Amino acid sequence: MNTATITTTEERMIWIGIVFTYGFYLTGTLYVVGSLIGWALLLMVMLRAFVEGRWPDRAVIPVTVWIWLIGMFVMLLALWVAHHDYNMGTGQTVKSSIGWAKGWALLALFPLLGAIINFKPQLLVRACCVLAAQAIVFVPLGIAGFIVGLDGPLYLSPLKAVGGPISTFEVNLFGMNPESGKPRWPFFAPWAPAAGLMSCIYLVICSQERNALWRNLGITGALIMCLFCQSRAGWAIFMMLIPALVVFRRIPFPAALLMVGTFACVILLLGQPLYEGVMDLYQQAKDVRPDSTRVRAALANLAVQRWQSEAPIWGHGIIETGPKMVEFMPIGSHHSWYGLLFVKGLVGLFALAIPMVITALYLMAVCGNRRAIWISILLMAILVCYSFFENLEILAYLLWPALLWLGVTLNPLKEGDLSNA
């Protein structure tokens, strides 16, 4: 796959949006590009339908995608109700609604695009391999910057005026671990643990590349991202993905499920000693960065307490900066579910949980021996796992290749495309 095989404007936009991620990052434009590319693709589809007088071939919106669309619209509804309850005014409501379009809306928009636009899934896979492989070059650049004494962001993009977390507009060759004083790499993500999430996603997608050279480069780049971001969650999930990819690549899905069931029975039989061992490992992982663990726990407790006592149904509407005890970090950050409870209440929590659960169950039901759908199952598992460590809304501008792949697999009419991926 190369640019010569790109046949449509939509494919060109997808290719450029992924392959030139580091270019966008180093120019401080990645957050804006990642947030706008989905809406630009939707506009392209609508313009093409208007000019040609018909929707793309095999374009259909599956029930599961409709559920995502409804869920993310409920997020917007919760935002409006909370803003009304707290009398935040029209200006703040408009600003927050734009934030919704750059965040939660993308979790439904890209599966929709994957289901309706015509593009070759293999192009998405090759683009992810090219992007992941660039980590092999980016790490030495960061090491060189550390040796010459660079410290802190190279610069802050003036595009921060459009709104969003400040970290998404900072450009770094590397970051510093405040506890160890050693460098850690966020790569093109706003912070290092988010790079761990992206490394897991690229491991799964790059494993589908048919060209051995690009597949090996992509997987190597994903491994480097995981190692150098120094994310505890990233390390654990990455290690679990490797046997999953190996086993389910070679064993039919029903047999693989039987293996999982057998493994679950063994876990139940060895429950007590296994539980104690896992808890010991978990405590050791927390002790690696005790300050980070303390802040995460305090943020979670603060979010739950204020949600229960102040806004249990619709939430507070906006993120609030926490006190000194949590290093002034936003309440509910580092965790999608606590963040949802604080900002959008129980309504927001169910608006995300229901689409996730239904999509996972649907994919498990239709998987059979179809490798592409198994890849979507793994991608969903990554998102579910990381929802307990990161705020998916903030990172939606980076997650879109995975969401696009998910949308393709949710459209049963595109099974022929997936068989060539």
Q: Tell me how far CA of residue 393 lies from CA of 30, 210, 333, in angstroms.
A: 15, 32, 10
- pLDDT score, position 327: 56
Provide the strand spans (E) within 310-362.
none
At 200-218, the pLDDT tens digits run: 999 999 999 999 999 999 9
Q: Which DSSP letter does residue 330 get?
A: B
The answer to whether the CB of 160 falls within 8 A of the CB of 169 is yes
Q: What is the DSSP letter of 175?
A: E
- For 313-320, what is the mean pLDDT? 78
Q: Identify the band that residue 49 occupies on the pLDDT scale cut at 50, 70 and 90.
A: confident
Nearest to 203 by CA among 169, 229, 173: 229
| Residue pLDDT, tens place only, 346-403 | 999 999 999 999 999 998 888 766 778 888 989 998 998 888 878 888 899 999 999 9
CB 389 within 8 A of CB 334: yes
Mean pLDDT, residues 118-144 taken together:
92
Query: What pLDDT is attached to residue 356?
Result: 93
Question: Do 115 and 411 contact (CB within 8 A), yes or no?
Answer: yes
List the domain boundaries for the chain.
Answer: 3-252+289-419
pLDDT score at 4: 46
Which range is least confidently modeled, 55-69, 79-93, 311-325?
311-325
**In contact, 226 and 200? CB cutoff 8 Å:** yes
* pLDDT > 90? residue 48: no
Is 170 in a helix, a strand, or coil? strand
Q: Where do the H-state alpha helices sit in 251-335? A: 253-269, 271-288, 290-310
pLDDT at res. 279: 45
One-character DSSP codes across 115-141:
HHS---HHHHHHHHHHHHHTHHHHHHH
Beta bridge partners of 170: 156
Q: List the one residue out of 118, 129, 82 whose CA is nearest residue 8.
A: 118
What's the whole-model pTM score? 0.85
What whole-number distance in Å separates Cα of residue 315 and Cα of residue 347?
8
User: Is the per-residue pLDDT at 124 higher than 90?
Assistant: yes
What band does 180 get if pLDDT is binned at 50, 70 and 90?
low
What's the one-letter identity of residue 265?
C
Query: Mean of the pLDDT values across residues 324-346?
Result: 71
